Structure 1
Amino acid sequence: MKKKLSLTSKIFIGILLGALFGIALKWLPSGTLKDSILLGGIIKIMGTGFINAIKMLVVPLVFVSLVCGASSMGDVKKLGRIGIKTMCFYLVTTAIAITLALGIGKLINPGLGLDMSSIVTTETVIAENKSLVDIILGIIPSNPIQAMASGEMLQIIAFALLVGVSISILGKKAEPVKILFESLNEVCMKMVGIIMLVAPYGVFALIANTFATVGFDAIWSLIKYMFAVLLALGIQGFIVYSGMVKSLSGLKLKPFLKKFANVAGVTFSTSSSSAALPLTIESMEELGVHNSVASFTLPLGATINMDGTAIMQGVACIFIAQIYGIDLGITQFLTIILTATLASVGTAGVPGVGMITLSMVLTSVGLPLEGIGLIMGVDRLLDMTRTTVNVMGDCACTLVVSKSEGELDLDMYYSKEENNIAKNA
């Protein structure tokens, strides 16, 4: 029986064929066939149609998934201090991650040298600079329906979180509403799955259009983009997380890093924090973390702690702004940080959702969504590392919280290290 190609394989094939087709079109003389039938017709329909399909899902998916995420956090209130510490750790590290990504993006400038401003098909509107007070007030929607209709992402996020928290506080009284939103979330996830079935064709068209217009210049910019993302992920994992474990808990890093290596093997190969969750919990308990902490912080982290995804979104915003010749001000940077941090609460572990949330962040600052075609072309290669960093953050939080609550068995944490010392003595 023939084995079916995975979606990842199909996207890679679409990238390769799109690049080859685009290069061939680059050398084809201008005329009706190239400009009207191919680039202005078939390629435009496939590429723009795919982008429009993604845009169609942004508002309903973000709103519904955030309501579901916030409404299921009843345990946070029950667990008191542990819940507060966990939420603070996750939100702070996500904000650090997106800020780090923006800084590295500006340092490396992955999009400079690649001009795609001539092929953008949607009007780009960058909001004027506002004061911090205006930015904060702008998060509160005076009309949530209007905010959804106009795609005001920060206002949509704020309203969704308020609805979700209210459902959580009401408990059984709001159970029917919670069930309704959970069903709607399943519908949204299925819609994402359906749209991702045509992703290889959409990516083919977008990549073909890029190479037909700008040629080989896109390759060097993509290499710089990938390097910037990987560099930010490395710093987040080995400096931010390791530094927080060391400074906040006083623990030695070696036992943690050695045990996490087993988890990293699973996250790197599956690109799924949910698939690695059983092993993650087991590994943390073997390090001496009490089950009452691990069984709360790790599943919650797998749901809302998406630092690796936030890093990708930050670098992607810089990259896309630069290739389209758009200058981002302090207001846009603050908006990106706020949007990506809050959006991490509702990011689901489903293939394709990362691109939907990226389009949400791009929309929040008025950047062209066409750039997603280039990002998607290499995103599968980065997804494995991104997922590993996400889970490393969950484990770091678990250690810090368990140590602060006195729920960490230090003898178990250092046992293997002590046994090795004894054997070598």
Structure 2
Amino acid sequence: MFKKIPLHSQIFLGLILGLVVGLTFIFTNVPQWITLELIKPIGEIFVRALKMVAAPLVIASLICGIANLSDISKLSRMGTKTIGIYILTTTFAITIGLVTVNLLQPGKLISPKTRSDIEAKYSQDVKAKKEQAEEVKEQLVLQPLIEMVPENFVKAASENSRMLQVVFFAVLFGVALLKIPENKRSPVVAFFDGLNHVVLKIIDFIMIISPYGVFSLICTLLVEVAGDDPNKVWGILKSLGFYALTVIIGLLIMVLVVYPMLLRVFTRKNFSYKAFFKGIERALLLAFSSSSSAAALPITIECVEKEFGVSEEVSSFVLPLGATMNMDGTSLYQAVAAVFISHALGYDLSLGQQLTIVFTALLASIGSAAVPGAGLIMLLIILESIGVPSAGLALVLGPDRILDMCRTAVNVTGDATVSMIIATTEGEKLKILEDKKETVEVE
């Protein structure tokens, strides 16, 4: 009976059950070890399995995608358009975040007592993140460009946080393939094409446990947030609710206004946004539960190809690149969080300081790893760049895990949107953008 339920519905049921079981455990005082030792490992296995295939998928799909272009000029054209649109959407996201937080000003609602409670609770976490941020700050101005080139490709491929290095190598490898004779190129392309299909089949196997993985991740998240004193934690989260709402409002504007607008502008076609969400539903649920666009990448590629009709040539180039440099949700969150912390600590930011946030967040989005928590390290750098004490990071650590889930889902939505735009501008006919007689539906 359960097998007859569509996979995306199974994943959603897993998410709901995770919420119900997690809350039940919290308010019935079930010992934490039951969750941490019996339930949490399932989620960790699931996420590890997805990350396991991320590097081979990026390598195989990018190399095949570039090699199949058979034209360097087409690669250059696609690359320029893709990076340009990613920078555009990230700039939109940061601007929306700043406008929203300046209008609602949630930071001015934090009471001094709540502020001191939060700082005391998360002081150790702030210290750890500050040490990581100091390492980044000491780097050269062009260090991100240097870091893009791997010293050891095998080492880069073994760490998901170095995915940009993997992308660099794969692109270089693909371009080199285009420059060698056909009889030498064909067997290499055939190998990576076969590898790509093998990885996709492995993903099918992994997805069998996805409902259980999502259940475990959500249940564990709730129990870990509550800790030994759920009432105190919920009180802190309630006081920060308006801040979280501000971030979510900004994210909703990106999803419900900016992305549909860009699709209409670039494709000039009617489309059903409900169908768009249904098409990437599985990818969104995985991004939401894992807080990692890298972990969701295999499913995102599968969704845009099967549900929207984006060619493998486009998806295998645009989406891996997006998972490493297109962090719209993260950039918006960083803008909101920086102003929120500033207001909460009694700092009023000038126009120049807010422009600094735009520039720094834009650069940070390119260098952020596609893994949970990476945005916090970049947030510390933003705070330092505008002269706000980095200890203020403690103010946003409470609800950060939940907001991380939301902004990762927005990152994936942005990646899927850009892949459709690039595919359309390359002359592809997409299922969701076909001309229809009915009125466009944007929800």
Name the count of aligned residue pairs. 301
Deviation at 1:153, TM superposition (A): 7.4
Deviation at 1:240, TM superposition (A): 0.5
Query: Structure 1 counterpart of 2:302, which letter?
Result: E
Separation in 1 of the partners of 2:265 and 2:425? 12
Deviation at 1:219, TM superposition (A): 5.4
Partner of 1:297: 318
Partner of 2:299: 279
Partner of 1:269: 289
Separation in 2 of the partners of 1:95 and 1:178? 33
Give the direction of change, closer, same or farther, for the CA distance of 1:106–1:321 in structure 2 (3 Å limit). same
* Contact in 1 for aligned 2:357/2:386 (Cα 8 Å): yes
Indicate yes or no: 2:258 matched with 1:240. Answer: yes
* Contact in 1 for aligned 2:90/2:327 (Cα 8 Å): yes
Deviation at 1:367, TM superposition (A): 1.4
Which aligned pairs between 1:22-421 and structure 2 lie closer than 5 A? 79-114=75-110, 116=112, 156=139, 158-164=141-147, 167=149, 177=151, 179=153, 182=156, 221-254=239-272, 255-286=275-306, 287-406=308-427, 408-410=428-430, 412-413=431-432
Tell me, which stretches of 5 or more residues in structure 2 are unaligned? 1-18, 27-61, 67-71, 121-132, 164-224, 439-443
SS at 1:366's partner residue?
A: coil
Deviation at 1:164, TM superposition (A): 4.8
Deviation at 1:158, TM superposition (A): 3.7
Give the direction of change, closer, same or farther, for the CA distance of 1:253–1:183 in structure 2 (3 Å limit). closer
* Contact in 2 for aligned 1:112/1:221 (Cα 8 Å): no
Separation in 2 of the partners of 1:276 and 1:293? 18
Deviations 1:52-96 (A, max 9, x none): xxxxxxxxxxxxxxxxxxxx99x7998101101110111111111
* Contact in 2 for aligned 1:320/1:368 (Cα 8 Å): no
Runs (4+) off by over 4 Å: 75-78, 115-121, 150-157, 178-181, 183-189, 218-221, 414-418
Give the direction of change, closer, same or farther, for the CA distance of 1:249–1:162 in structure 2 (3 Å limit). same
Separation in 2 of the partners of 1:86 and 1:155? 30
Query: Structure 2 counterpart of 1:95, which letter?
Result: T
Deviation at 1:277, TM superposition (A): 1.5
Query: Structure 2 counterpart of 1:336, which letter?
Result: I
* Contact in 2 for aligned 1:152/1:364 (Cα 8 Å): no
SS at 1:80's partner residue?
A: helix
* Contact in 1 for aligned 2:326/2:365 (Cα 8 Å): yes
Query: Structure 2 counterpart of 1:384, which letter?
Result: M
Partner of 1:21: none
> Taking structure 2 as the reference length, what is the TM-score of the superposition?
0.57
Separation in 2 of the partners of 1:257 and 1:157? 41
Separation in 2 of the partners of 1:85 and 1:310? 20
Tell me, which stretches of 5 or more residues in structure 1 are unaligned? 1-8, 17-71, 122-149, 168-174, 190-202, 421-425
Separation in 2 of the partners of 1:378 and 1:164? 31
Give the direction of change, closer, same or farther, for the CA distance of 1:96–1:381 in structure 2 (3 Å limit). same
Separation in 2 of the partners of 1:257 and 1:377? 29
Query: Structure 2 counterpart of 1:390, which letter?
Result: N
Sequence identity (%):
36
Separation in 2 of the partners of 1:414 and 1:100? 27
Deviations 1:249-269 (A, max 9, x none): 123331423312332222223
Deviation at 1:318, TM superposition (A): 1.1
* Contact in 2 for aligned 1:114/1:221 (Cα 8 Å): yes
Separation in 1 of the partners of 2:328 and 2:409? 10
Deviations 1:364-406 (A, max 9, x none): 2121222222311101111221111000000110111111111
Deviation at 1:112, TM superposition (A): 0.7
Separation in 1 of the partners of 2:357 and 2:433? 41
Deviation at 1:301, TM superposition (A): 0.6
Query: Structure 2 counterpart of 1:296, which letter?
Result: F
Separation in 1 of the partners of 2:419 and 2:332? 21
Give the direction of change, closer, same or farther, for the CA distance of 1:364–1:394 in structure 2 (3 Å limit). same
* Contact in 1 for aligned 2:293/2:323 (Cα 8 Å): yes
Give the direction of change, closer, same or farther, for the CA distance of 1:77–1:352 in structure 2 (3 Å limit). farther
Give the direction of change, closer, same or farther, for the CA distance of 1:277–1:179 in structure 2 (3 Å limit). closer
* Contact in 2 for aligned 1:303/1:345 (Cα 8 Å): yes
Deviations 1:274-322 (A, max 9, x none): 2222221122112121111100101111111111111111111111001
Separation in 2 of the partners of 1:347 and 1:113? 30
Deviation at 1:363, TM superposition (A): 1.5
Partner of 1:45: none
Separation in 1 of the partners of 2:157 and 2:433? 45
SS at 1:79's partner residue?
A: helix
